[in-house]
Structure 1
Amino acid sequence: MSHRTMDWLMLLGCVSLWPGMVLAEVGSFTGCNMYFYRDAEPRGFDTADTAEICQRYSNLYHFATLYDRPQRIPRWSAYTLGEPNCPGQAQKRSQWFVEPQLAHPDESPEMTTEAESTLSLDEWRSSQAINEDYEDTSYDRGHLNPNAFQYNDDHTATFTLTNAVPMNPYFNRVHWSKLEKTLKAQLTGSCRNAGGKPYLVTGAVPSDSEKIPIEAEDKEGDRNRPYNRVSVPSHVWTAVCCDHGDNNRKFSFAFIGENKEASGLQIIPVEQLNTELSRLYKTPGPVEVFADDCGSESQKGQEVLSAMKKALYNIFQILLTDPYSQLVKRRKLDRETSQVMTSQTLDQKKMQLTGIGFLVGISRLADGHSQFEKTYEQDNLAPAVARLARAADDSELYIRVTAPGWPCVEEFCGYQGYAYSWCYTSDSNDWDYCCTGKCTVNPASKLYQCPRGDGSTIQCSPQYSTMTVSGKVCRADHPCGLYEEKYFWCYIDYKDNWDYCCSPQHNCGTHGYGYQWCYIEDPEKSWEFCTMRITPW
């Protein structure tokens, strides 16, 4: 078998953990206004079916949550940054706590396990998610208020299902986790230690249609369990506000990512997040996360944003092994990406960090041409970063991958005098077609196809995962894909060792059998045993 390598822009993500005895109070934010910037709760998110919860533990409030009863997930949790060092914190456990007052307002404010409560399962199910909703699924219980941001009692109070949403395990444990660690370090140094107070709001956008699905094994073994109850969020977001007595040291920013394994991350101003959330939540009126947007245009905020981007970039560099870092293309991409991050002419509001590369939004192609000429001249950026691909409005700055998944060499995908989009894939003048639209499944053939720019379509390869059937991590520059084979695979090192991947249309699971397996070929043909199934937290 002959396999080749490709350049790949890694993508970002999150993780969270556990409790003890927790109390909460439902119905009003009166007792927990201290967790809101200027004592003002986020506006525009509430509906007739949302519940305001002041999360309380050991008779003290610890954070605030707006809970969506029909979707059975919180819309957001508002909190402040806890102590910087938190040794000896609680470990994970199988049973999370639930909120009796969501089922009956007259119940005790003390959170409890379902087994210790006098309420029936049906009473619990009527108002909120419970532990069984996450059992035998491929989703993590992802914290909104991160346990890693809190200390002692504040830490314990985060382990409640009213503070959890179903998160893709890779998004939760890799992308979002790295972001949380970087954010905590930046806020500790740039806000808390500088005399400011960090306020944060983390939220989840309920999906219009996706719920935690039924597993095949449960169809046979647990017929009394209701399914499709808990909404799987389409996006997870965080808004950050550093309040300071000196307005010049006050700043805010926000970020938002899709809740999936291959997730890009946008770092944007708070006012832009407001607009985006109003669209995603389909609110009847405007959304306001922070009153007056908490100084989002301040110079200090721009400095912190720049530091965040550089810190995230350095984290992803660590993931690359030494042999790969010696490659010419790796060094070139490092240099180009570093130059982009220090650019003085690129509009920071339109930059989208996706890992070890960037996407840059442009309003019109003509504007983009003049902008990047200026950027190239003033910032001395590499020609590869300054060129524009043939694209529509708000497009990617460059496209480097052919339809089968291989990297372009020397040039980007483009028409280059032909009716179709293409690029060279080797130094010996080999070439291949490029996609000019999304690589999607043909309903009839169950195979992946994409337009190539001349009105016809071509078979293509999705690049969708970074884990193999045996749980190995794909090489940083080579995610799961077809790469001109019939089955899905990826390299796992730089010695051309490789492993199969589950088809993007068939996740690893028992699927009605006593072992874990998945199809590695579409349509459903060859299969392999797999060990990617992740035990729920």
Structure 2
Amino acid sequence: MSHRTMDWLMLLGCVSLWPGMVLAEVGSFTDCNEYFYRDAEPRGFATADTAEICQRYSNLYHFATLYDRPQRIPRWSAYTLGDPNCPGQAQKRSQWFVEPQLAHPDESPEMTTEAESTLSLDERRSSQAINEDYEDTSYDRGHLNPNAFQCNDNHIATFTLTNAVPMNPDFNRVHWSKLEKTLKAQLSGSCRNVGGKPYLVTGAVPRDTEKIPIEGEDKEGDRNRPYNRVSVPSHVWTAVCCDHGDNNRKFSFAFIGENKEASGLQIIPVEQLNTELSRLYKTPGPVEVFADDCGSESQKGQEVLSAMKKALYNTFQILLTDPYSQLVKRSKLDRETKMMTSQTLDQKKMQLMGLGFRVGISRLADGHSQFEKTYEQDNLAPAVARLARAAEALDRVCPFKELNFGVTATGWSCVKETRCECQGYAYSWCYTSDRNDWDYCCTEECTVNPESEVYECSRGDGSITKCSPYGYSMQTISGKVCRSDHPCGLYGKRYFWCYTDDEKNWDYCCSPQHRCGKHGYNYQWCYIRDPEKSWQYCAL
């Protein structure tokens, strides 16, 4: 699916006033302990210059934030996962709020728009970021408590600059956004819907040496605006805790990523995150995000992590990179790489890198033997094509055999030890069940035919076949989460759908060309067939 080139400056510069009002209280977490696992706030982050904020909207508390006054960004926000379905709710709001109490503790506990604030401009600037800091820059206002995780008043309350940090647009809108969507789906199905309570803490590591600049050359002539006020974080992280009455269902894990275009996202245990954050924040003592690390070694946590990784593989259409990757043409990898479900690769050496995973290998010889073993034992569908000679050090390395897709044109996984190839016929195909059911496979990228307006691809014999882009969505029209091994697709039908559990229950999916929305009506709907046929009501 193609990505549109967006004008970051226009997006950051165009704001209008939101007439609502947000309330917050600064100075204590007493009234928002419910957002902390075991009522214990994260330890080791506070300094003499941080402020504790219980974020309050419409006389109710919604989450907690530790705000760094000199850096003018939050160090972390603690929250819980809200209702996964928010039908009819706007995804974004145009106006962000400021917190007068950060300048004057005796001020009213109302967080308001800057236009409604009784503080002067200098007073607003004194201890927090304000809207003009993000104008005419190339940075997004990146939520820590994600607006997509919340509904209604909880959703509105996230749009405060005390919950925002400057994020690289590619990192925020691609890498971190995909991670948040996958995380929400997994926590809904594996924690919230089975009696658990998901606690989350998302934070940002301030960077003294880099502050938001303004785009353009004539800085001095721009509205008497001061510059370099707001710290651009080096890293963004999220710690997840599913608290459950049954200790076998309790689990935790964490993510940390670099706030840049070519970002590395690591999936690590909470105790490892604590150690890493202590180093990054340069804290004088230990860091503890969750009390007792919330069962980070549980079997359930490992199962959820496995499902998370698989969903991320499918979502990003994984690009397997390693010391050989620079020798393989990017266009060929983009065309041939679909997913990876490795059982032999060392998970501790695996990182999500941009739109792929990087695997660390200590020596070339180890890498060669490891990948030969991986190709023989794992279901890589496909991974790497062939090696080109590029350096004398690789002259004696035998080329790897080329691997083909393990997913058919309409989305079925190949079974019975078959994979997508000709297998005696002119077209590419594979078996999809033990009953000898089979399906065509794509030999080229699955794209939209501009004449028919349906997804089609070549099947290898000069003919074309209908197809569906694999892994384009993991959510059905009613907001249910697709089974991790069965994302939305055609699967031989005329409409898009997916299984939602192991009992073969299923639901429709929106067409990848027509996402859920109002589309000129007063209700949410989308087409489930191409081109623009058979619509259904849907939930965002």
Range of TM-score over shorter length: 0.5 to 0.7
TM alignment of 1:242-253, pairs within 5 A? 242-253=242-253
Q: What SS does structure 2 have at the residue aligned with 1:25? A: strand
Q: Could you report, residue by residue, the CA deviation over 1:231-257 in whole angstroms, capped at 9, with x for unpaired residues? A: 011111111111111111111111111
How big is the shift at 1:44?
Answer: 0.8
Backbone CA RMSD of aligned residues: 3.5
Instruction: Tell me if the contact between 1:312 and 1:355 (Cα under 8 Å) persists in the aligned partners.
Output: no
Q: Measure the CA separation in 2 of the matches of 1:45 and 1:199.
A: 18
2:387 to 392, 410, 420: 410
Q: Does the Cα contact within 8 Å between 2:142 and 2:172 map onto a contact in 1? A: yes
State the Cα distance separating 1:276 from its structure 2 match: 1.1
Residue 374 of structure 1 deviates from its aligned partner by 9.8
Aligned to 2:102: 102
Change (3 A) 1:102 1:417: closer
What is the aligned partner in structure 1 of residue 174 from structure 2? 174
Q: What corresponds to 2:63 in structure 1? A: 63
1:314 CA displacement: 1.5
Determine whether 1:351 maps to 2:350: yes
Q: Distance in 1 between matches of 2:217 and 2:158?
A: 31
Q: Does 1:238 align with 2:238?
A: yes
Change (3 A) 1:68 1:375: farther
Counterpart residue identity of residue 146, structure 1: P
Cα offset for 1:300? 1.0
Deviations 1:8-43 (A, max 9, x none): xxxxxxx99999311111011111111011111111
Aligned twin of 1:36:
36
Distance 2:106 2:365 in 1: 60
Q: Deviations over 1:327-368 (max 9, x none)?
A: 97567644xx5242xx0x444333212255422346x54995
Secondary structure of 1:211 counterpart: coil
AA matched with 1:261:
E
| Counterpart residue type for residue 340 of structure 2 | S
8 Å contact from structure 1 (residues 257, 265) kept in 2: yes
Match of 1:213 in 2: 213
Helix, strand or coil at the partner of 2:65 = strand
Counterpart position of 2:340:
338
Q: TM-score, normalised by structure 1?
A: 0.64
Aligned residues: 377
Q: How does 1:14-163 map to 2 (within 5 A)?
A: 20-90=20-90, 92-163=92-163
CA distance in 2, matches of 1:179, 1:108: 37
Q: 1:40 to 1:350 in 2, by over 3 A?
A: farther
Please list the CA deviations of residues 376-403 of structure 1 after superposition, one character each: whole Å capped at 9, or x if unmatched. Answer: 4983577998xxxxxxxxxxxxxx9xxx
Contact 1:43 1:287 (8 Å CA) reproduced: yes
In structure 2, distance between residues paired with 1:146 and 1:215? 27
Partner of 1:285: 285
Q: Partner of 1:306 in structure 2?
A: 306
Per-residue Cα deviation, 1:192-250 (whole angstroms, up to 9, x for no partner): 01111100000011113110013336525425211100001111111111111111111
Deviations along 1:82-105, one digit per CA (max 9) or x if unpaired, are 001012324544431111110001
* Cα distance per residue 1:239-284 (max 9 Å; x no partner): 1111111111111111111111221211111111111111111111
CA deviations 1:93-126 (Å, max 9, x no partner) are 4431111110001001111111111110111111
Counting aligned pairs with the same residue, the percent is 81
CA distance, structure 1, for counterparts of residue 272 and residue 303 of structure 2: 18
Distance 2:32 2:346 in 1: 37
**How far apart, in 2, do the equivalents of 1:360 and 1:176 lie?**
20
Distance 1:123 1:331, change over 3 A: closer
Distance 1:383 1:82 in 2: 36
Partners of 1:237 and 1:272 lie apart in 2 by: 12
Gap change, CA 1:330 and 1:158, over 3 Å in 2: closer
Note if contact 1:46-1:66 (Cα within 8 Å) is conserved in structure 2: yes
TM-score normalised to the size of structure 2?
0.63
Check the 8 A contact 1:313/1:355 in 2, yes or no.
Answer: no
Which position in structure 1 is the counterpart of 2:377?
379
Report Cα offsets for 1:276-310 as digits up to 9, x if no partner: 11111111111111111111111111111111111
Q: 1:331 to 1:134 in 2, by over 3 A?
A: closer
Tell me if structure 2 keeps the 8 A contact 1:32–1:63: yes
Q: Is the 8 A contact 2:138 2:215 kept in 1?
A: no
Residues 303, 21 of structure 1: CA spacing in aligned structure 2 closer, same or farther, 3 A cutoff? same
The offset of 1:62, in angstroms, is 0.3
Q: Deviations over 1:454-509 (max 9, x none)?
A: xxxxxxxxxxxxxxxxxxxxxx9xxxxxxxxxxxxxxxxx9xxxxxxxxxxxxxxx
Specify every segment of 5 or more residues in structure 1 that has no aligned partner in the other structure, as ranges. 1-14, 320-326, 386-399, 401-407, 428-475, 477-493, 495-537
Could you tell me how far 1:57 is from its partner in structure 2?
0.8
Match of 2:267, SS state, is strand
**Amino acid of the residue matched to residue 101 of structure 1?**
Q
CA distance in 2, matches of 1:318, 1:384: 10
Is the alpha carbon distance of 1:52 and 1:383 closer, same or farther for their aligned partners in structure 2, counting shifts above 3 Å?
closer
Contact 2:57 2:157 in 1 (8 A): yes
Partners of 1:413 and 1:250 in 2: how far apart? 49
1:352 counterpart SS class: strand
Q: Which has the higher contact order (CA 8 A, sep 6+)?
A: 1
Decide whether the 8 Å contact of 1:165 with 1:233 is kept in 2.
yes
Q: What letter corresponds to residue 158 of structure 1 in structure 2? A: T
Contact 2:318–2:340 (CA<8 Å) still a contact in 1? Answer: no
User: Residues 340 and 379 of structure 2 are in contact (CA less than 8 Å); yes or no, is this contact kept in structure 1?
Assistant: no
1:72 and 1:329, CA in 2 relative to 1: closer, same or farther beyond 3 A?
closer
SS in 2 for 1:105: coil
Q: How far has the Cα of 1:313 moved from its partner?
A: 1.6
In the alignment, is the contact (CA less than 8 A) between 2:76 and 2:201 conserved in 1?
A: yes
CA distance in 2, matches of 1:301, 1:107: 44
Give 2:47's aligned amino acid. Answer: T
Contact 1:376 1:383 in 2 (8 A): no
2:250 and 2:294 in contact (8 A); partners too: yes
Does the CA-based 8 Å contact 1:199-1:241 persist in structure 2?
yes
**DSSP 3-state at the match of 2:54:** strand
Worse overlay, 60-69 or 299-308:
299-308
- Which residue of the partner structure matches residue 391 of structure 1? none
Change in 2 beyond 3 A, CA 1:216/1:329: closer
Question: Structure 1 pair 72/218, CA: closer, same or farther in 2 (3 Å)?
Answer: farther
What is the identity, as a one-letter code, of the residue corresponding to 2:377? D
Distance in 2 of aligned mates of 1:410 and 1:292:
47
